[in-house]
Amino acid sequence: MTEKTAEPATTGPLTTGPLTTGPLTTRPFGMARLRRIADFVDWSPGAALRSTGPVSVADLRREARRRLPRMIFDHVDGGAGQETTLQANLTDLRRVKLRPQILTPVDDVDLTAAICGQSVSMPVLLGPTGLARMSHRDGELAAARAAARAGTVFAVSTASSYSLEEIAAAAPGPLWFQLYLGRDRQGVRDLVRRVREAGYTALILTIDVPTGGQRLRDLRNGLNIPPRVTLRQAAETLLHPGWLADILRDPPVGFANFRSETGVSLAQREYSERLSSPTATWDDLRQLRALWPGKLLVKGVLTPSAARLAVASGVDGLIVSNHGGRQLDGVESSIAALVAIRAAVGDTAELLLDGGIRSGVDVVKAMAAGARGVLIGRPWVWGLAARGQAGVELCLELLREDIERTMRLLGTPTISAIGSNHVVLPREWTEVMAGENEHG
């Protein structure tokens, strides 16, 4: 009689072998294994100090958040009202899908472009952002230098914390100037004269500020210009000694293109009263067109009807923008508005997109949807806050690398090759496009 072989113990259908019931055993931790571990570790002197550093705009935002006090970070990061438009700028860009063209040669990729007659190394411009010195002591001077090194345009804000003349003297690159139609029209004409004398090549008229938007984060934080720290904020501010040292060492931050009777930069209330434009009309735009001999763009266009009126007034370009979600909360995203406006005006004006750009993929999506280029605001200020001029340069370089990579994957060797056949838009946007084409 043969002896039966014991069946393996099982605990369920996933068991693949006999269970051990005795004490666990381990292999000896010999010299061979130690040598393998030693070979795996980088023992070089600088290895412990090396870091990959930021690899995206989101990484720069995180660095900026660590360096800035909350009230300053919130001023840069926040929007108006409930920030629904701010979020729509981001989420609607994600809704746009890319459609690659496979087996297209992309061994050489060219990012160069021409925007309103200005040659740039890539279709990304530094957009107008006020009071940059609140984020870093070099402020707009650092941005101008970074843009020049990158071969692109810096659009200087009327609300800059260095004067337009100081910025023009800081870097050799192309500069545009952003203008408001303030209450003091003679003051506006004087400012335009200064812009022309300083060598700026294009003027951007912002038309979406009849009054200031409600920035709830600023109100909750009690932000003033120049910044002042309350007793409630003192402890949190002391956790950011680098920022605090810069603010205390330099003159108070203000609106440097305007001076009060005492000769110091205007503070927030005086500036707001001077530059809000509740009485502005299309006639004012036409008068500005007659006054300014260079390229003229309008920023803040969101509807096809406004785009048509702007084109009829003689502008060279339209910047489709909702002010980064910082003015009227509840309007549609910049990218959705761009699609309808492109259908309305066709090729009669160059279109630029402002709002929501966080990556090179976003840039390519905007181009495929009809933009000639894009402006960035928060991303370059995050870079500035994190690392000064080097951070702005890094921001631009990260975008450049991502644009090039996206173009290779998409099958578009040049900027001009990017077109509507490379993008899939939400259905409701294409329905609006069809309606605008019929209207045109």
Annotated catalytic sites, by residue?
A: 323
Element (H or E) spanning 300, and its range? strand 295-301
Q: Are 310 and 298 in contact (CB under 8 A)?
A: yes
Within 10 Å of residue 73's Cβ, how many Cβ atoms? 22
Determine the residue type at 46: G
Give the position of tokens 């260095």.
162
Alpha-carbon distance of 107 to 113, in angstroms, equals: 19
Q: Are 336 and 322 in contact (CB under 8 A)?
A: no
Alpha-carbon distance of 172 to 14, in angstroms, equals: 70
Alpha-carbon distance of 127 to 326, in angstroms, equals: 14
Residue 215: phi and psi, rounded to 5, are -90, 95
Determine the residue type at 152: T
**Which residues are paired to 350 by β-bridges?**
317
In sign, the C-alpha dihedral spanning 226, 230, 236, 237 is: positive
Please, is 9 exposed, middle or buried when counting C-beta atoms within 10 Å of its C-beta (0-12, 13-18, 19+)?
exposed
Alpha-carbon distance of 205 to 365, in angstroms, equals: 25
- CA triplet 168, 157, 152: central angle to 5 degrees? 60
108, two tokens? 């050489």
Q: Computed over its alpha carbons, how large is the radius of gyration of the chain?
A: 27
101, two tokens? 């063209």
Within 10 Å of residue 240's Cβ, how many Cβ atoms? 18
Q: Are 71 and 230 in contact (CB under 8 A)?
A: no
Strands 295-301 and 202-206: parallel
